[in-house]
């Protein structure tokens, strides 16, 4: 079986995630300890016993989700999962960093540190209350693009995520995003709702974050990838560390092309998808992109049974 490993992005986090892995596997517990040491803070206490409000803050959620994903990977290794069948890795937004860590391209410590920086830079790129993101359900990417291009108000409103055939996320100035919601409902969107996020990610308003992070990303110690990664930006595979760095910089202001990424994996012969980390968001998206995919998610101790071959 040809396997792709998937890694979730922001929004999948929840208090207590990964705790059962750390309680049952020393390898998983050590992941959280190493992330705490790298960041110089007790992030694991926040993950397991903190408040939802603090955990969802971007600078906390990003390294926390990565740590949970990598704890799940280590648990899978501990129970003997055969990584020899893994042909690709892919991650949604910050999940790309988890995928790179899994592929052997980045150390766990470096991944935690860059994600903490990334979270802070993206959070501070736009003043609080000025930006917004919204999910559009029930109409196509082309319909969304055409509708928002016809809104003449000054300001930014762009596609941020192409998640699946009928789920698009837009991002930009709050007033323009709100106007876009009215337009999109009028042309047939089944739902068009503001998302509870703290900044307008994956649009041109994130340019200050690019300026802040570009040097740190270019300075990353990135080894050759043992497993190809499918890029959010191009929806195609990458192996060259230089290309990966350029993509990570572009990713901050460019849309996440998740639908196309999953379609690419399918065309490349992937017939089993495993989501490693918190929640089941990506599993749900894959089910709506492909017909009858074999997919499972590994985020807690009780999930490890799913690693048995179908």
Catalytic (active-site) positions: 93, 202
> Residue 277 corresponds to which tokens in the numbers above?
């980390």
Residue 143: Cβ-neighbour burial (10 angstroms; 0-12, 13-18, 19+): middle
Angstrom CA distances, 95 to 11, 89, 116, 119, 305, stand at 11, 10, 13, 13, 23
Alpha-helical (H) ranges within 40-166 are 43-49, 52-55, 58-78, 95-102, 108-124, 141-149
At 186 the three-state DSSP class reads helix
> Residue 307 corresponds to which tokens in the numbers above?
């690693």
CA atoms of 117 and 125, how far apart (whole Å): 12
> Residue 269 corresponds to which tokens in the numbers above?
């012969």
> Residue 68 corresponds to which tokens in the numbers above?
């949970």
Q: Are 256 and 160 in contact (CB under 8 A)?
A: yes
> Residue 31 corresponds to which tokens in the numbers above?
């992941």
Angstrom CA distances, 138 to 7, 143, 162, stand at 25, 10, 13
**What is the pairing mode between strands 167-173 and 229-230?**
unpaired
Q: Are 180 and 134 in contact (CB under 8 A)?
A: yes
Which residue is associated with the tokens 């995630």? Answer: 17
């Amino acid at each position: 079986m040809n396997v792709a490993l998937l890694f979730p992005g922001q929004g999948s986090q929840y208090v207590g995630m990964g705790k059962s892995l750390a309680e049952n596997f020393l390898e998983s517990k050590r992941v959280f300890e190493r992330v705490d040491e790298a960041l110089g803070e007790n992030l694991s206490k926040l993950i397991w016993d903190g408040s939802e409000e603090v955990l969802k803050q971007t600078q906390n959620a990003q390294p926390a989700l990565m740590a949970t994903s990598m704890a799940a990977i280590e648990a899978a290794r501990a129970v003997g999962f055969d990584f020899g069948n893994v042909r690709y890795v892919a991650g949604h937004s910050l999940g790309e960093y988890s995928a790179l860590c899994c592929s052997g391209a980045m150390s766990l410590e470096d991944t935690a540190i860059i994600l903490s920086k990334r979270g802070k830079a993206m959070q501070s790129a736009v003043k609080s209350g000025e930006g917004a993101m919204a999910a559009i359900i029930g109409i196509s990417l082309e319909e969304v693009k055409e509708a928002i291009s016809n809104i003449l108000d000054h300001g930014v409103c762009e596609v941020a995520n192409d998640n699946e055939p009928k789920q698009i996320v837009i991002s930009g100035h709050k007033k323009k995003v709100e106007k876009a919601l009215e337009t999109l409902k009028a042309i047939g969107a089944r739902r068009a709702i503001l998302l509870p996020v703290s900044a307008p990610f994956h649009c041109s308003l994130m340019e200050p974050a690019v300026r802040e992070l570009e040097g740190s990303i270019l300075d990353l110690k990135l080894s050759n990838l043992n497993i190809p990664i499918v890029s959010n930006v191009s929806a195609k595979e990458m192996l060259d560390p230089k290309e990966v760095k350029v993509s990570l910089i572009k990713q901050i202001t460019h849309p996440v092309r998740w639908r196309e990424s999953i379609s690419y994996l399918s065309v490349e012969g992937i017939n089993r998808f495993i989501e490693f980390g918190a929640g089941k968001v990506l599993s749900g998206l894959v089910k709506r992109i492909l017909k009858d995919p074999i997919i499972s998610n590994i985020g807690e101790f009780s999930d490890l049974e799913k690693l048995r071959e179908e």
